[in-house]
Amino acid sequence: MNHCNFFQSSVGKKVIMASTGVFLMIFLLLHLSVNLFLFSGEKAFNDAVFFMRENIFIRIMEYVLAIGFIIHILFGIKLHLENKKTKGKVDYAINYYFSTSFSSRTMVYTGILILCFLVLHLINFMIPMKYSNHIISDYYIVVSLFKNPFYTFIYVFSFLILGIHLNHGFQSSFKSLGLSNDKKSVWIQKFGSLYLWFICSGFSIIAIWFFFNE
Ligand code: HEM
C-alpha cells in the first residue's frame, strides 16, 4: 500500500484521528495545568500566561495545534460520512445501534459542539488577550467572563460534552493505534476514566468557582 492509499483507507484515517486525538488530549492536560494557576491568584496566572506566550517552543506548537485540530475535524467528518453510507443498510444499522455506546455513536455531534465552543472560547479569551495591548490583566479577562451566568453555563455544558467525546475517544485511540489488547484494555479504561474526570471536573470547577467567588 503506498502512502496515498494508506491515508484514503479507513485504517489510515483512524490512525490519523487517533494520533491527532492523543495530541489534543495532551494539549488539554497542559492547558488545564496552566489554568489551575488561577487559584494561586492574579500574579501567578498572569505570569504563567506570559511564560507560555513568550516561549518560542510553545509559539511554534500553537501552529501545530491549529493544524492538529483542523486535520482531526476534517478526517472525523469524512469518516462519519463514509460510515453513514454503510449504516444506511437496515440490518447493519440495528446491529450497530445495539453494539455501540452512546458516546461512540455521537462522536461527530459532540465534536461539532466542541468546535462551536472553541470558536466562542477563542473570541472570549485569545483575541482580547493578544490584541488588547495588555491594558487589562489576563486574570481579569478570565474571571470577569465567569461573572456572567450565561457563559458559565455554556462553558460547563461544553465540558460535559467534551467528557462524552473523550469517553469514547480515549479508549478508541489506543485501539486504532494498535496499543490495546484484552489485558491492557482494563488499564486503558481505568486510566481513561481518571483522565476524563480530571479534565472535565478541573475545567468545570474553575468556571463554577469564579462564578460564585472573587
Ligand atoms: C475553564 C476552562 C477554560 C479556561 C479558563 C480557558 C482559558 C484560556 C485562555 C486564558 C486562553 C488564552 C491564552 C493566551 O492567549 O495566551 C485559552 C486559549 C485556548 N484554549 Fe482555553 N480555557 C478553558 C477550556 C478550554 C477547553 C476545554 C479547550 C478545548 C476543547 C480549550 C482550547 C483552547 C485553545 C485551542 C486555545 C488557543 C491556544 C493558543 O494557541 O494560545 N480551552 N484558553
Alpha carbon distances (Å) from 207 to 34, 121, 211: 14, 13, 6
Give residue-wise pLDDT tens across range 108-164.
Answer: 999 999 999 999 999 999 888 877 776 789 999 999 999 999 999 999 999 999 999
- Give pLDDT, residue 3: 64
pTM of the model as a whole: 0.90
For residues 134 and 129, give the distance between their C-alpha atoms in angstroms, rounded to a whole number. Answer: 7
What's 180's DSSP letter? -
Give distance in angstroms: CA of 39 to centre of ligand 1.
16
Which residue segment(s) compose the domain that 26 sits in?
3-212
In CATH, what number is assigned to the domain containing residue 71? 1.20.1300.10
- Give pLDDT, residue 89: 62
Return the residue whose CA atom lies nearest to atom 13 of ligand 1. Answer: 126
C-alpha cell at 103: 458516546
- Give pLDDT, residue 191: 94
Q: 114 CB less than 6 Å from ligand 1? A: yes
Q: 121 CB less than 6 Å from ligand 1? A: yes
Q: 162 CB less than 6 Å from ligand 1? A: yes
Helices (H), ranges, 2-148: 3-8, 10-35, 42-54, 56-87, 90-99, 102-105, 107-121, 127-131, 138-145
Give distance in angstroms: CA of 102 to centre of ligand 1.
27
The series of mean pLDDT values per 10 residues for the chain, 214 residues long, is 70 92 97 97 95 93 97 94 74 67 92 98 89 81 96 98 96 90 88 96 98 88
- Give pLDDT, residue 143: 95
- Give pLDDT, residue 16: 95
- Split into its structural domains, the chain has a count of 1
For residues 76 and 176, give the distance between their C-alpha atoms in angstroms, rounded to a whole number. Answer: 14
